[in-house]
Structure 1
């Protein structure tokens, strides 16, 4: 007969049981999810690991990465070699990899970080630079409207011994930024000046893979001007989780310490490292197709008369308002298509799982809305009295 304690234990075990898949069966339909992802232009973060990626990753070692994880360590060594740096460390996210990089560079306030005002570090990391590092951020608008230049750096960095100011200790650049490739020659100029002045260089290279794929430039050459680089596996490359920081051995050793302090020390991450390795082998080669598809999307919108605000690598920024169309109208109509298309803003992001048909369907929808607007204008706008139907047709087409 079971004792009262045994009965209590069984009762507690029954309370603990939980079948998550039974509670959301419709959300575990992978085929349906992959289809939705293939028609989602919100971001490249929506990409999902495939069965093939998981099958490969299941071969990973099962050790604890706070101590030592062989698969993760193997990946880190490869990324360090690929980028021409001494060492690397796997991180849970791009935000953490940026913030830990800055915290590792910055020793004792007062200090500041120089960056583009549009950068992820400045706008999308919830003020982490101030919170984690106690650093002031000097966020600059590029004078050329596109990317920071050495002229911008010299004009706005903070140097000297004026006790009212926080001297610049790190210049943080981003490549790509908004999909746009930062000219390597300008990066080199900034880097040479910065190192001459004793200022460290960090790169948010979340989408640096796109630069290498588009320009044919090696990752080492792209990373050479920087003391630290953050690389993302889960955006352009489609892994489920993870980024990597590269730098000197001493820098990475200190970054590991901060990773633990930030709560980023992880346990059996071999499967995540395995997914990243699969992405390097199988997903990186898909990026040229992504760029071609984004160019097709841009060209189609231009042909319809939509204003293009920017189009680079995997991103297209568009403005339909000159045609009398609002973003919300497009988004709502796209969501109601027989096979919905997801649009959340003026930014359209093409990724490795975007299907060609999604681009065709989106362009067809915009064309339909444009034609409807033309008809609406014709119906509500009365041409001068006494003009023939032929004249009315010309009037309509001119509008």
Structure 2
């Protein structure tokens, strides 16, 4: 016997809201304020949600007014002809490469730490059939025009796939590439008829720190990807910008990759809110990161990558402490801190009390290690210095 419609409807229905969802969300926001793992964990505020509900209700595969307004603004802001709203930074980067790369064999050059190379599931190879040339910066900080020149593949050797795109990332691990270096790289790459792409997921931080206009930061590139869902706190989305012809092609590739979305007005409005109200919060984020850096240095912890924007990398072995000890102790606090190894990421929803509590925790651990007999060795007899090594003194003999 066929089931009644009411029975089918009963089987289909779903209520995802628990009886405590308001309290659960408040608890989650409190947790996020004390999480240093990434800025991807930022969440929409109630005010962002309220603004987003006022957006238009079009279909973005055809035409969505709020999304079109965002794309128009992003094109004007970056000094490009057109923009395309996409679900993620990875989608934006991979669509960008697919549109630049026409006929293999070819190679994409990037920093060996770049997101395109390390964290996009081999997308350049899978989507575009491209090899990647990962380059280690000779200065240990950022790629230079000399690095690019040395690794550019342009010769007649048929064993090598020519470099077609040079992709930079700014910021990369929170560090800023000097704009004059970017301009020099761009001039060199374009002189060879090749393309420049920027993974500018955190370019907002560069603008906030250097006070350079977004357009100036984007001018050297043929295409740029910018993210709304990391440090700016929108729930989802990035924009890819470029020429009219390029973005027309990108729109087709977005559809091919399964990224054509429908009622995106609510997402576009969230991004617009983030640009308006959350971007101005970034200077405070940078100041909190510098507070972390200064506090750790005062304790004696080694900083391996300084707080240029929202991230620092540190090595606590200089005070005899491990990352595991810090994470374990942090999780036992009355209000736990959530940590992820050597990287500390500050974002617009990080609380000042979380920064203070983290420094207090590391300071206490360092004091405990010192009291237990951990010391940093001084110079050898020949004048050399042991770096980042701790030894444990033999315990005193007791009667």
Q: TM-score w.r.t. structure 1 length? A: 0.93
Q: How far, CA to CA, are the matches of 1:223 and 1:17 in structure 2?
A: 47
1:375-386 matches, cutoff 5 A: 375-377=371-373, 381-382=394-395
2: CA distance, partners of 1:156 / 1:101: 22
Q: Return the match for 1:73 from 68, 71, 90.
A: 68
Task: Report deviation, 1:122.
Answer: 0.5
Residues 247-292 of structure 1: CA distance to partner in whole angstroms, max 9, x if unpaired?
A: 0000000000000000000010100000000000000000000000
20 and 208 in structure 1: CA distance in 2 versus 1, 3 angstrom threshold = same
- Long gaps (5+) in structure 1: 387-399
Instruction: Give me the whole-angstrom Cα distance separating, in 1, the residues matched to 2:88 and 2:13.
Output: 30
Matching residue of 1:333? 329
Structure 1 segment 262-277 matched on structure 2, within 5 A: 262-277=257-272
In 1: Cα distance, 2:215 partner to 2:169 partner: 16
Work out whether residues 41 and 349 of structure 1, in 8 Å CA contact, stay in contact via their aligned partners in 2.
Answer: yes
Q: 1:46 is paired with a residue of what secondary structure?
A: coil
The 5-angstrom pairing of residues 1-399 of structure 1 reads: 8-22=4-18, 25=20, 29-311=24-306, 312-377=308-373, 381-382=394-395
TM-fit CA distance, 1:32: 0.8
> Could you say which residue in structure 2 is the equivalent of 1:396?
none
RMSD (Å), alpha carbons: 1.7
Q: Which residue of 2 aligns with 1:394?
A: none
CA distance in 1, matches of 2:78, 2:21: 42
Measured in 2, the distance between the counterparts of 1:368 and 1:117 equals 36
Q: What is the deviation of 1:26?
A: 6.0
Answer whether contact 1:309 1:318 (CA < 8 A) is retained: yes
Distance 1:113 1:30 in 2: 42
Structure with the largest fraction of helix: 1
Q: What are the Cα deviations for residues 134-182 of structure 1, in whole angstroms up to 9, with x where unaligned?
A: 0010001011111111111110110023221100000000000010000
Greater C-alpha Rg: 1
Tell me if the contact between 1:91 and 1:242 (Cα under 8 Å) persists in the aligned partners.
yes
Cα distance between partner residues in 2 of 1:205 and 1:53: 23
Contact 1:209–1:284 (8 Å) recurs in 2:
yes
Once residues 236 and 359 of structure 2 are traced to their aligned partners in structure 1, the CA distance between those partners, rounded to angstroms, is: 32
The superposition leaves residues 301-330 of structure 1 with CA deviations (integer Å, 9 ceiling, x where unpaired) of 000001100122000101001211110110
TM-score by length of 2: 0.93
Distance 1:385 1:31 in 2: 53
| Matched residue count | 381
DSSP-derived class of the 2:14 partner: coil
Partners of 2:56 and 2:136 lie apart in 1 by 46
CA–CA distance in structure 2, aligned partners of residues 284 and 381 of structure 1: 53
Distance in 2 (alpha carbons) for counterparts of 1:27 and 1:53:
16
Take 1:170 and 1:69, find their aligned partners in 2: how far apart are those partners?
Answer: 32
Gaps of 5+ in 2: 375-391
Q: Tell me, what secondary structure is at the counterpart of 1:44? A: coil
Equivalent residue, structure 2, for 1:395: none
- State whether residues 21 and 28 of structure 1, in contact with CA within 8 Å, keep that contact through their aligned partners in structure 2: no
Counterpart of 1:21 in 2: which secondary structure? coil
In 1, the alpha carbon distance for the partners of 2:29 and 2:116 equals 30
Matched residue of 1:20: which SS? coil
C-alpha deviations, 1:110-137, integer Å up to 9, x for none? Answer: 1000000000000010110000000010
Looking at structure 2, the residues matched to 9 and 149 of structure 1 have their Cα atoms a distance apart, in angstroms, of 67
Give, in whole Å, the separation in 2 of the partners of 1:51 and 1:132: 38
Secondary structure (helix, strand or coil) at the match of 1:114 reads strand
